[in-house]
Chains A and B, each alone.
Chain A
């Protein structure tokens, strides 16, 4: 039972069964999600080959502390998100089951082509979930870009296969060392574009605004935390650990990450709708995390990624619920909303402040780490840009929080009569989970050693400059 393949196949089995057992498909979804959450704590690190054929000939699953951390966080967040918005699941149970299987597959697989298959499964579930908002042109746009992106990814990996004669990540990684990196720019770039479409990096994120901006509480939280987290973990795996990027290409990728960060924060600043602000904040955070992964700062990148996905799970659930109930998510018409929903407001505030990186919050710890990391690599310019982006981020989040808490008109004393007439009810499960998640952020901010000792202590590799465990593990070879 310690085999991580069960994380993928049990949800898949439930998905197939749920077609026949129509009435109990929601139960099957919860069963699979709970099973996975229990299973992630049982599985043991190592290489697991499938079909009994050793790597690089067969497919293998690579469970090291990086992917272990990834499956733990993603599976727990998945369960929390579906519990929080369980009333929205209805007909999407089977799709969600398949997506759970695909997400775990993406995180665990040690084979580039297998990653493509799981990427495709996850993106198809994402296209289907995005049609829920009935804004079909956005879904169609997403589908076109996503299919093109994964096609380019496939193109890139076939070029790698033609050069190295293998599809196994560890095998390619070890053969790449003795190959001229400048000759690999084309396949690397193609793979990067493929992943960048899903990771919402500029200029491949044209779909994100329409799709994220029209989501309800379930799908928004799922996209912004679970899906975005997974794709960034995979990005970190592929570009931080497997593929050796030449210094020229590294420069290009860092610039793309930086531009995404700045442009994302700037666009968020100019928006007035709650969900659109959050979308652009998500885009900016993706840029930041991708930038850190490419720079080789795996540990700070993971910290920042966890910060982002936990905060976004809270914020998108709240924002989705608000727009479902109030039929608008324009910030100006929601003034003083949190004055009546203090618990929710508290959680939202904590996550916003943690995203900015204020002291006492977990985000502070991750920002300090990433800045120290950049200083140690003497990338002072990049650090300066990140600080600039933080200021912009701080400005719009504080403005947003003030508006949502304070029932007043600008320049006048706050008064109860200006409070929004929109009533938003939050059910108990949402309140409890959102509050608990925000407490985790607070706790991890006050005692950062808690995070460090429990999650990373056993693993020196994550702290190392250029993690080379792909070589150490050899992917089961």
Chain B
């Protein structure tokens, strides 16, 4: 009975949404979007503050944002404030998990016995995964990826260690310190921009040539901070979930 009511309700809701969206011209022409109608047009030509016609890879220099990955230029330059908020969301939810499960202690015992290959293999690939994570967030302005995927990759390496070794404990105090330091530095980079250029989180460094590793001004710096922060936050969440329940 309940299922039928739910399906009926969703049928009405779905009809409402479908018909409402179908009525709009913006959806009738799926895939025929003209970017000139959207704010993204200026993100592509990097011409919000000055007029340039065309950006060319490995040629154009000193643009308003020097990242060759447009998504990164939006995430860390045009809409950097959102990213600060996003980091905060992750920060506060890891804090919430820690508060909820803080009374738990010890570490969950694994239901299986980690065999030799798993133990040695995990230790061998751990530095490689961590290295790739670092590569991803330092190259966030050139290739797909950035602080968040890179950070999660580092955390996944730590999870691998947890799963392969019963006695492994991450040093949470140092992770907490990293988290705190990186977050504060992100805000301080923003405040530095406020006092030097007049805008919070403004790019106060030279943006260089599009496509070079050392380019894009504060983007790589912010992504390194975000990557390390996300890595330590996710490690914190994993560690909290792997704690054993203690009868209160």
- CB pair A53–B77 under 8 Å, yes or no, is yes
The smallest beta-carbon distance between B218 and chain A, in angstroms, is: 10
- Smallest CB separation, A33 vs chain B (Å): 17
A469 touches B (CB below 8 Å): no
Given A53-B78, A166-B39, A121:B92 Cβ within 8 A: yes
Q: Which residues of A (35-52) have their CB < 8 Å from a CB of B?
A: 48-52
Cβ of B191 within 8 Å of any chain A Cβ, yes or no, is yes
B200 part of interface (Cβ distance < 8 Å): yes
* Residues of chain A with a CB closer than 8 A to B95's CB: 19, 94-95, 98, 128
Interface string of B132-162 (1 = CB under 8 A from A): 0000000000000000000000000000000
Apart from the given pairs A16-B180, A186-B20, 5 other A-B contacts in the complex at a CB distance below 8 Å: A51-B77, A51-B200, A102-B88, A114-B85, A159-B24
State the CA gap A371–B139 with chains docked (Å).
61
Total interface residues on A, using CB and 8 Å?
55
**How many Å lie between the Cα of A53 and that of B81 in the bound state?**
12
Across the interface, B89 reaches (CB within 8 A) one of A54, A121, A163, namely A121
Query: How many angstroms from the CA of A102 to the CA of B116 in the assembled complex?
Result: 48
What residues of chain A lie closer than 8 Å to B194, measured between beta carbons?
3, 5
* In the complex, A439 has a CB within 8 A of chain B: no
**Are A50 and B23 closer than 8 Å at their CB atoms?**
no
Contacts of A23 in B (CB 8 A): none
What are the 5 tightest A-B residue pairs by CB atom distance, in nearest-first order?
A186-B20, A165-B38, A16-B183, A117-B85, A20-B180
A137, chain B: closest CB distance, angstroms: 14
The interface of chain B, by Cβ under 8 A from chain A, is: 16-17, 20-21, 23-24, 26-27, 37-40, 42-43, 48-49, 64, 77-82, 84-86, 88-89, 91-93, 95-96, 99-100, 176-177, 179-181, 183-184, 186-188, 190-191, 193-194, 197-203
Interface centre among B39, B183, B193 (most CB of A within 10 A): B39
Q: Residues of B contacting A58 with CB < 8 Å? A: 48, 78-79
Q: Give A131 to B97 CA distance when docked, in angstroms.
A: 11
- Whether, in the assembled complex, A278 has its beta carbon less than 8 Å from a beta carbon of chain B, the answer is no
Is A183 interfacial (CB-CB < 8 Å)? yes
Q: Decide if A185 is an interface residue (CB 8 Å cutoff).
A: yes
**Which B residue's beta carbon lies closest to that of A105?**
B85
Closest chain B CB from A141 CB (angstroms):
16
B-chain residues with CB within 8 Å of residue A118 when the two chains form the complex: 85
Residues of B within 8 A of A120 (CB): 85, 89
Query: In whole angstroms, how far apart are the Cα atoms of A183 and B203 in the complex?
Result: 40
Residue of B whose beta carbon sits closest to that of A136: B100
Partner among A3, A48, A128 whose Cβ is within 8 Å of the Cβ of B92: A128
Q: Are B20 and A124 in contact (CB under 8 A)?
A: no
- A101 contacts B by Cβ under 8 Å: yes
**Which B residues are CB-close (under 8 A) to A127?**
96
Identify A17's interface contact among B16, B180, B193, CB under 8 A.
B180
List 28 contacting pairs A-B, 8 Å CB cutoff, sorted by A. Answer: A3-B200, A13-B187, A15-B88, A19-B179, A48-B200, A50-B81, A51-B193, A52-B49, A52-B193, A54-B49, A57-B42, A58-B79, A92-B99, A95-B92, A102-B85, A114-B82, A117-B89, A121-B89, A128-B100, A131-B96, A131-B99, A161-B38, A162-B24, A167-B39, A171-B39, A183-B24, A186-B16, A186-B21
Interface residues of A in 182-203 (CB under 8 A from B): 183, 185-187, 189
Number of A-B residue pairs with CB-CB distance less than 8 Å in the complex they form? 160
* Contact among A16, A19, A51 for B202, CB-based, below 8 A: A51
| B197 adjacent to A165 (CB under 8 Å) | no
Are A124 and B96 within 8 A (Cβ)? yes
Across-interface contacts of A105 in B (CB, < 8 A):
85
Indicate whether A166 sits within 8 Å of B38 (C-beta atoms), given known contacts A50-B80, A52-B199, A53-B77: yes
Q: Give Cα A258 to B87, complex, Å.
A: 39
Majority SS at the chain A contact face: helix
Q: Which of B17, B82, B176, B203 contacts A59 (CB 8 A)?
A: B82
A61 to chain B, nearest CB (A): 9
Give Cα distance in the complex from A124 to B89, angstroms.
Answer: 8
A125 to B95, CA, bound (A): 10
Q: Which residues of chain B have C-beta atoms less than 8 A from A161's C-beta?
A: 38
Whether A98 touches B26, Cβ cut-off 8 Å, given contacts A19-B176, A53-B77, is no
Within the assembled complex, what's the spacing in Å between the Cα atoms of A103 and B180?
21
Which chain B residues lie closer than 8 Å to A101 at the CB level?
A: 88
A48–B89 Cα gap in the complex (Å)? 23
- Judged by a CB distance under 8 angstroms, whether A56 is at the interface is yes
The minimal Cβ–Cβ distance linking A175 to chain B, given in whole angstroms, is 10
For window 88-128 of A, CB contacts with B under 8 Å fall at 91-92, 94-95, 98, 101-102, 105, 113-114, 117-118, 120-121, 124-125, 127-128
**Which of B27, B48, B78, B88 is in CB contact (< 8 Å) with A121?**
B88
Chain B residues near A165 (CB-CB < 8 A): 37-40
Q: Which residues of chain A are near B79, meaning CB under 8 Å?
A: 58-59, 113-114
Closest CB of chain A to B185's CB: distance in Å?
A: 9
Contact of A20 among B20, B177, B186, B199 (CB under 8 A): B177
Rounded to whole angstroms, the CA-CA distance of A15 and B16 in the bound complex is 43
Whether the pair A124, B190 counts as a contact (CB closer than 8 A) is: no
Contact B81 A16 (CB under 8 A): no
A52-B92 contact in complex given A57-B42, A57-B78, C-beta closer than 8 Å: no
Least CB distance, B132 to chain A, in whole angstroms: 27
For B81, the chain A residues whose CB sits under 8 A away are 50-51, 59, 114
Say whether A159 contacts B21, CB under 8 Å: yes
Contacts of B24 in A (CB 8 A): 159, 162-163, 183
- Whether B199 lies near A51 (C-beta < 8 A) is yes
Known contacts A105-B85, A117-B89, A128-B95: A51-B80 contact under CB 8 Å: yes
Q: Residue on B with the closest CB to A94?
A: B95
Known interface pairs A163-B26, A167-B39; A128-B96 also in contact (CB < 8 Å): yes
Closest to A17 in B: B184
Q: Is the CB of A16 within 8 A of B82?
A: no
**Neighbouring A residues of B86 by C-beta, 8 Å:** 117
A383 interfacial contact with B, CB 8 Å = no
Given A3-B200, A165-B39, answer yes or no on A131-B183 (Cβ-Cβ < 8 Å): no
Q: A13-B188, A51-B202 are known contacts. Are A131 and B77 too (CB-CB below 8 A)?
A: no
Interface status of A302 (Cβ within 8 A of chain B): no
- A9 / chain B contacts, CB cutoff of 8 Å: 84, 187, 190-191, 200
| CB neighbours of B188 from chain A (8 A) | 13
A12 interfacial contact with B, CB 8 Å: yes
Instruction: Give the Cβ gap from A4 to chain B, nearest Cβ, in Å.
Output: 10
Question: Looking at A17, A102, A124, which has the most chain B CB atoms within 10 Å of its CB?
Answer: A124
